[in-house]
């Protein structure tokens, strides 16, 4: 029986947990640590973005913003599911999609954000998660720009009511920062895979 060596098997769903040991040393450890932190920060942003749409966290966020931690703890015990209708209306306000599609996206997008973010945390389906998040950020950004050009007064709903009063430049700056981080992570992950898999197995 002909055996295929492990090296020649393309890695489909899992990502390398250890980086190649080229230039092993303190600086590569720090670099690896910083990339990991960046991935976790991006994941945290998308977990937060997803949770603010699925759960009613308005009171909790307001109390945290005012540093009222005792009240925030009480809010935490009373957290309930958010009405997806609000996010659907936020999507509908862009006047791009028909209402039923806005409703479907209101149910789907928060979970997609959370699942992709968990992919980043556990490095499972890692590059798939990064590409979905990058694509979604590009779409959100284009939608925000289109709304601005058409003179629509929109609430993006990106972070639930926490982002309700964000200005257009704030939206744009936030989205572009996240996009740069996502693309950097995707580029890094892809280059690591290229180094590990022989050319004919890519």
Partner 1 sequence: MKSSILRQAVILALFALLPAAGEAIYFRDKISWRSAISPSEMVTVEQAREWGDTAIWIDARPDDEFANDHVPGAILLNEDRWNELLPQFLAVWSPSKKVVVYCSSLSCNASREVAQRLRKEAQLSDVFVLEGGWEAWLKKKR
Contact positions with partner 1 (CB under 8 A) in 173-192:
190
Backbone φ, ψ for residue 26 (5° rounding): -60, -40
For residues 26 to 65, the per-residue mask of contacts with partner 1, x marking binding by CB under 8 A and - elsewhere, is: ----------------------------x-----------
* Cβ neighbours of 172 (radius 10 Å): 15
Classify residue 123 by its DSSP letter. T
Decide if residue 100 touches partner 1 (CB under 8 A): yes
Given 42, 45, 57, 88, the residue binding partner 1 (CB under 8 A): 88
Contact positions with partner 1 (CB under 8 A) in 124-153:
125-129, 131-132
- Nearest approach in angstroms of CB 69 to partner 1 is 30
What does the alpha-carbon distance between residue 87 and residue 67 come to, in Å, rounded to a whole number? 26
Residues that bind partner 1 (rule: CB under 8 A) add up to a total of 37
Given 8, 73, 79, 107, the residue binding partner 1 (CB under 8 A): 107
Distance of CA 110 to the CA centre of its chain: 10
DSSP code string of 181-199: HHHHHHHHHHHHHHHHS-G
> What are the helix (H) ranges across the chain?
26-54, 58-65, 69-77, 84-92, 99-122, 126-149, 168-196
Nearer to partner 1, 64 or 132 (CB): 132
Chain positions contacting partner 1, by CB under 8 A: 10-13, 54, 81, 83-85, 88-89, 92, 99-100, 102-104, 107-108, 111-112, 114-116, 119, 125-129, 131-132, 190, 193-194, 197, 202
């Amino acid at each position: 029986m002909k055996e295929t060596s492990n090296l020649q098997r393309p890695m489909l769903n899992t990502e390398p947990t250890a980086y190649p040991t080229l230039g092993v040393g303190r600086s590569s450890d720090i670099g690896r640590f910083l990339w990991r932190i960046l991935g976790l920060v991006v994941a945290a942003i998308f977990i937060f973005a997803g949770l603010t749409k699925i759960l009613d966290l308005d009171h909790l966020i307001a109390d945290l913003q005012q540093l009222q931690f005792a009240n925030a703890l009480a809010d935490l015990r009373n957290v309930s599911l958010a009405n997806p209708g609000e996010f659907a209306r936020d999507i509908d306000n862009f006047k791009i999609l028909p209402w039923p599609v806005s409703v479907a996206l209101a149910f789907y997008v928060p979970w997609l954000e959370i699942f992709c973010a968990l992919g980043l945390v556990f490095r499972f389906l890692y590059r798939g998660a990064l590409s979905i998040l990058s694509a979604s950020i590009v779409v959100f950004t284009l939608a925000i720009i289109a709304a601005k050009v058409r003179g629509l007064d929109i609430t993006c709903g990106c972070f639930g009511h926490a982002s309700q009063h964000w200005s257009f430049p704030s939206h744009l700056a936030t989205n572009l920062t996240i996009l740069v981080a996502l693309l950097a992570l995707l580029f890094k992950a892809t280059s690591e895979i290229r180094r590990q898999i022989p050319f004919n197995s890519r």
